Chain A
Amino acid sequence: MGEFIQTTIGGLTLGAQYALMALGFSLAFGILRVINFAHGAFYVVGGYLAYWITNEVGLPYVLGVIVAVLGTAAIGYVFELFVIERRIDDHLATIVMTLGASLIGGAAMLSLFGAQAAQFEGGLTGTFRFGGVFVPHARVMIIAVAGLAIAAVYLLLYKTQVGNALRALTDDREMAVAMGMRPKVLFPMAFAIATGLAGLTGALVTPQFSLAPFVGEHVLMISFLAVILGGLGSLPGAVIASVLVGLVEAFVGTYVGGSWAPLILFTGILVLLVARPSGLLGHRTIIDA
């Protein structure tokens, strides 16, 4: 029973981390219709920014996190404005360009910090203990931040004027532009929020996992899983799917064994795509994407 509860809590915290990872990715696709292959790279850059501020400059961890968010958001803003925006209507072109950005991001971190994994502790080290169940403070903090970030993105998109404008641009860019919305301001901003979330995730999560130039691949894969499973562009879908992925990984890991967990997940996704191509919660036809 103790093992079951520990596994459930482990799965939920893992799921919350995955939700945070997938959030920015899902946002970029939901608003810009861009599959951001550089999402993992932004995560890594965020992680290294926080590491650099905390460990090498010697400022508090909180400042590191803030710099990570602002830095990745700024890079994302510039990248959208000067690169993606020029080919925004060509889905294949945006994939290729974000792939390019991902290569550049990984390579830059490699040349600045080396191939060795960085010793990054983060700011929180304690552990909560309820009966036989252990939960590190950092994970509780990640769950809280994930909840806040999801709520903030949801409110931004559905309860604010900017959110309405963004969704209008997604639905019918030409018409929205004719109505006076400015994609050259709003789209870079949306992409900056998405990459800023990736940076935030990197700053918070890399102390839990590991920080090396290419750990972003795993994050990218998790994001793929979550958004395919949840339905491309569906924020609630991505969140629910992330938690699901976390739970499956924890349970299969505990009761079946290592490499079966990802295999079951990935195969499950292929099967799901056959049965229900729009994902668990997606209702739009993505077949004509």
Chain B
Amino acid sequence: MPKNLAPSTTSTTSSAVRRRSRHVLLLPGITLLLVALGFFVPKLTADPFLISFVPTVLITMLASMHVWLLLRVNLLSFASPPFMAVGGYVLALVATNVTSNAIVLIVACVVVPAMLAIPLGLVLLRLRGTYFALVTFVLAQVVVLIVVIAEGPLGGSSGLSGIPPATLGATQFAAGGDLVRFSVIVALVGMALAATVSIVWRRHFAAIEENEPLAASLGLQPWRYKTYAFVSAAGVAGLAGLILINQLGNAHPDSFGPLSAVNHVAASVIGGPSFLGPAVGALILAWLVHVFASQAQYSQLLLGAALILVTLFAKRGLTGLVVDAAKFLARAVSRPGPPDTGARAEPRSAEGDTTTQVPNTLTRRESVTTGEVVLSVDALAKRFGGVAAVDGVSLELRKGDILGVIGPNGAGKTTLINMISGAMVPSGGRVTLSGKALTGSSPQTMSRHGIARSYQQTSVFSGATVRENLRRAEAFSKRWVSDEELDELLRETGLDARLDDIAGDLPYGLQKLLGLLLPLATRPAVLLLDEPAAGLEVSERGRIDQLVEWAAERGSAVLLVEHDMDLVRRICPRLLVMDTGKELAHGTPEVVLTNPDVITAYLGVADDEELADIADLVEPSVLAEPEAGTHREEEIHRG
């Protein structure tokens, strides 16, 4: 998709964050222009080679567009032939029995496959990754078999012949220039459909492709946008079937063999994720087939090799290579010196910023004991086979309250957050938000009701700029902070100087802070933070205090899972200690952290005498010691 090609150069203010980039329309515009040119120049429409070549390319292009659209939501589809078959047979039946009016045919060949895709999508889109790919392959086989068996209406294995060509007024789109023109018009309709879908929902698609769990936790409903992609992709494939059958004049099951999908996948992968990808891929494919017309094995050999090489070395396909080369050239031309050093203002981020002290200005909030209970968790449990990861944990959070959840590794803290945020379905117990029962709802439902979360590992849309990350979160969420508040958050995290940087290129600390900022900016009623300080420099940890305080001040109820005991003691008026899935202690930090059971759980001391000694000695920071391994591990991951 043509995102990120030309990040706007303004920085910092949220009004700029909102500004729409116009370049998104550029690539489809160029495509339309090129195709229209081919359409109106008479020399191109009279050439006998082009008369057969152009429709062939367009058929492959539309079929690859089907694959391309679904790849945008991270699904590999082999369902181009079955939907082409639906389109093709719809054309055959309508043109033979009802009318050969071109407009009616085009509409029918989009609408019927798309309508069929709705119930199919409901079933198939529950599957992901490899399974979806396999099942679409099976679907392709089923449709061919149905056609073969339906000898009456669809002609069975001998096919339907004598299909009248599409007409408009007195013009018959049967052969020559008219056939080419008609094919081009149909292809334009298909491209317009695909372009509309992929532009209108570009943020949703890109977010699903890059980081579906994060998108869902921000409120996006993945199944909805996958359905949009699937349904429109079915319509586009239907149009490919229309051109094919209109060109052939007869419909035969062999035209829709399941393995022809391999060519469409190949064209789509080789072309790349740009909107022009399917067109480029289809051109190359058709050219290969044409050049090696008498020795099909060589075109196949080249195609197979190209598939492997592109996947290994040019992930974004040929169009991606061209874009990269263009960028490289542009940079070389505009800046003759060594590129890109010192171009960006050195950010005021925490990395070089050793002067930032952990703030002592904040005083710990009082525990909130009155007011509305926002989140109520009752006897929540999660069992994996025989292991109870969380075993009957209950807690209540009021508006503006901050609850720290601590415990040794494997105590079930993250599982607890996963269940409250909808990432896991509990085995027992209840989650209630402001009186509404939400137990076991999906992440997007939880998010829409105001439960937001951050992740232990960095979780951002790493291929997009910080600005685009914010735009996406805003697009997905039902609630969003004001511009002033967003500016404040950006300043506090040091991200304001990095708005145009690709999120994945940011240093670990800033990525982590961005991952914290996104849920925070959705103005959650409940904010679940999973080890926000893990892997941060000491100087960066101070920002966590500010952000949590910021959220609590605005009425969010915060649940903070953390191993940094200093941080926990600074900001949590109330602590819940978990061990082996159960609540071990619950109360103020002073009481909880001197509880012998808690010390035993952390240090593994059982002896009473030793306990007495340690209880005197123990500094809360010592309690953080067993977790040092976690941090080290994360530091390795950073590198």
Contact = CB atoms under 8 A, between A and B. Distances in A.
A87 B146 CA distance: 37
Contact of B311 (A87, A105, A110, A270): A87
Nearest to A86: B312
A263 B128 contact: no
Nearest to B315: A93
A136 to B, nearest CB: 29
B149 interface: yes
Interface stretch (B301-309, B543-551, B557-565): B301-309
A98 B157 CA distance: 31
A102 interface: yes
A266 B123 contact: no
Given A100-B266, A232-B134, A286-B127, 20 more contacts: A87-B311, A87-B312, A93-B311, A96-B76, A96-B269, A97-B307, A97-B312, A99-B265, A103-B266, A107-B301, A108-B301, A110-B296, A111-B301, A217-B259, A224-B138, A259-B145, A263-B146, A266-B145, A269-B138, A289-B129
A107 B297 contact: yes
Given A35-B130, A263-B145, A100 B306 contact: yes
Nearest to B71: A92
B140 to A, nearest CB: 10
A221 interface: yes
A33 B129 CA distance: 11
Contact of B129 (A91, A106, A224, A228): A91
A277 interface: yes
Interface string B118-143: 00000100111111011101110110
A228 B135 contact: yes
A100 B134 contact: no
A107 B298 CA distance: 7
A161 B103 CA distance: 66
Given A83-B308, A99-B262, A289 B130 contact: yes
Interface centre among A91, A102, A103, A273 (most CB of B within 10 A): A103
Contacts, number: 130
Contacts of B297: 106-108, 110-111
Given A103-B262, A110-B297, A270-B135, A95 B145 contact: no
A274 interface: yes
Give the size range of A's interface with the partner: 35 or more
20 contacts: A83-B312, A92-B129, A95-B76, A96-B307, A100-B311, A102-B262, A102-B304, A103-B303, A104-B300, A104-B308, A107-B298, A107-B300, A111-B301, A221-B141, A262-B141, A262-B145, A263-B145, A270-B139, A277-B131, A289-B131
Contacts of B306: 100
A99 B295 CA distance: 20
A185 interface: no
A267 B149 CA distance: 13
Contacts of B128: 287-289
A101 interface: yes
A213 B76 CA distance: 26
B123 A273 contact: yes
Contacts of A259: 145, 148-149, 157
Interface string B260-280: 001001100100000000000
A260 interface: yes
A146 to B, nearest CB: 23
B265 A106 contact: no
Nearest to A105: B304
A33 B130 contact: yes
Interface in A260-289: 260, 262-263, 266-267, 269-270, 273-274, 277, 286-289
Nearest to A92: B76
B138 A228 contact: yes
Interface string A162-181: 00000000000000000000
A262 B52 CA distance: 35
B273 to A, nearest CB: 12
B138 A97 contact: no
Contacts of B295: 111
Contacts of B269: 96
Interface of B: 71, 74, 76, 123, 126-131, 133-135, 137-139, 141-142, 145-146, 148-149, 157, 259, 262, 265-266, 269, 295-298, 300-301, 303-308, 311-312
Nearest to A232: B131
B138 A270 contact: yes
Contacts of B304: 99-105, 107
Nearest to A33: B130
A101 B142 CA distance: 25
Interface centre among B123, B128, B145, B146 (most CB of A within 10 A): B145
A96 B262 CA distance: 9
A267 B142 contact: yes
Contacts of A33: 130
Given A228-B134, A263-B149, A277 B127 contact: yes
Contacts of B127: 273, 277, 286-287, 289
A87 B304 CA distance: 17
Contacts of A92: 71, 74, 76, 129, 133
B347 to A, nearest CB: 31
Nearest to B157: A259
A245 B265 CA distance: 29
Contacts of A286: 127, 131
A260 B149 contact: yes
Contacts of A99: 262, 265-266, 304, 307
A225 to B, nearest CB: 8
B395 to A, nearest CB: 28
Interface string A218-237: 00010011001000100000
Contacts of B123: 270, 273-274
Interface centre among B126, B131, B303 (most CB of A within 10 A): B131
B307 A103 contact: yes
Contacts of B142: 263, 266-267, 270
Interface centre among A86, A97, A260, A277 (most CB of B within 10 A): A97
B130 to A, nearest CB: 5
Nearest to B139: A270
Given A33-B130, A260-B149, A100 B135 contact: no
A232 B307 CA distance: 25
Contacts of B308: 83, 97, 100-101, 104
Interface in A61-104: 83, 86-87, 91-93, 95-97, 99-104
Contacts of A260: 149
Given A97-B311, A259-B149, A277 B126 contact: yes
A233 B306 CA distance: 29
Contact of A104 (B137, B259, B266, B305): B305
Nearest to A288: B128
Contact of A266 (B129, B138, B301): B138
Interface centre among B149, B295, B311 (most CB of A within 10 A): B311
Contacts of A107: 296-298, 300-301, 304
B130 A232 contact: yes
Nearest to A264: B145
B441 to A, nearest CB: 17
Nearest to A221: B141
Nearest to B156: A259
B303 to A, nearest CB: 6
A35 B312 contact: no
A273 B145 contact: no
A231 to B, nearest CB: 11
A35 B134 contact: yes
Nearest to A37: B262
Contacts of A232: 130-131, 134
Contact of A91 (B130, B305, B312): B130
A96 B131 contact: no
Given A107-B300, A263-B146, A266-B145, A287 B131 contact: yes
A93 B218 CA distance: 28
B507 to A, nearest CB: 23
Given A100-B308, A266-B142, A277-B127, A224 B134 contact: yes
